[in-house]
Structure 1
Amino acid sequence: MADIESARKAFDRFDLNGDGLISAAEYKSAMAQLGDFHVTETVAEAVIKSKDANGDGLLTFDEFWGALHQD
């Protein structure tokens, strides 16, 4: 389980434009920067959708944090 400071740092790496939200395009780009070039736009959209509590197609930090504590 991640602590909140580590989670914030991870969130900030995915939030490429710094608007406080992670879009599918940002997720895909961040995963490529981390070396995973197999994440397509469709996969990124599915990942975001699976963790997106309010259904707006974007992840807030609270949704990101909540996703870390699922399972």
Structure 2
Amino acid sequence: MSTKDQILKKIEILLTNHFESPKNAFDFFDENGDKKLSKSEIKNLLQEAEISGFIRGIVASKLIEGYDVDGDQLISWSEFKTAIDEIAL
């Protein structure tokens, strides 16, 4: 299993075991209530998913790079949903 697959599996476990839905998880980690996840909010999600602190920043940056369609360096609910759909909960 690749590191990417391991990370995705940990995120899947977090979302399925601790939240009723991906939207509940999104809202929980959207600490400032702006309906978008910042890099630091994504890092908090990754920390809760037990992703190593060493790679948390890299993974958060890659997530933003890969899914930030509108280029605002934040992840909206629709962008988050696209990412989550790829995990196939």
CA contact (8 A) 1:13 1:30 kept: no
Alignment equivalent of 2:57, drawn from 41, 48, 57: 41
Kindly provide the amino acid, as one letter, of the partner of residue 61 in structure 1: W
Mapping of 1:3-18 within 5 angstroms? 6-18=21-33
1:45 CA drift (Å): 1.2
Percent identity, aligned pairs only, is 34
| Structure-1 separation of matches of 2:56 and 2:84 | 22
- After superposition, the Cα gap between the structure-2 partners of 1:42 and 1:19, relative to the gap in structure 1 and judged at 3 Å, is same
Partner of 1:27: 42
| Structure-1 separation of matches of 2:28 and 2:74 | 15
Mapping of 1:58-69 within 5 angstroms? 58-69=74-85
CA contact (8 A) 1:15 1:22 kept: yes
CA contact (8 A) 2:36 2:77 kept: yes
Structure 1 vs Structure 2 CA RMSD = 2.1
Query: Which consecutive aligned stretches of 4+ in structure 1 deviate over 6 angstroms post-superposition?
Result: none
What 5-or-longer segments of structure 2 have no aligned partner? 1-19
CA contact (8 A) 1:8 1:61 kept: yes
Partner of 2:14: none
Count of residue pairs brought into register by the alignment: 67
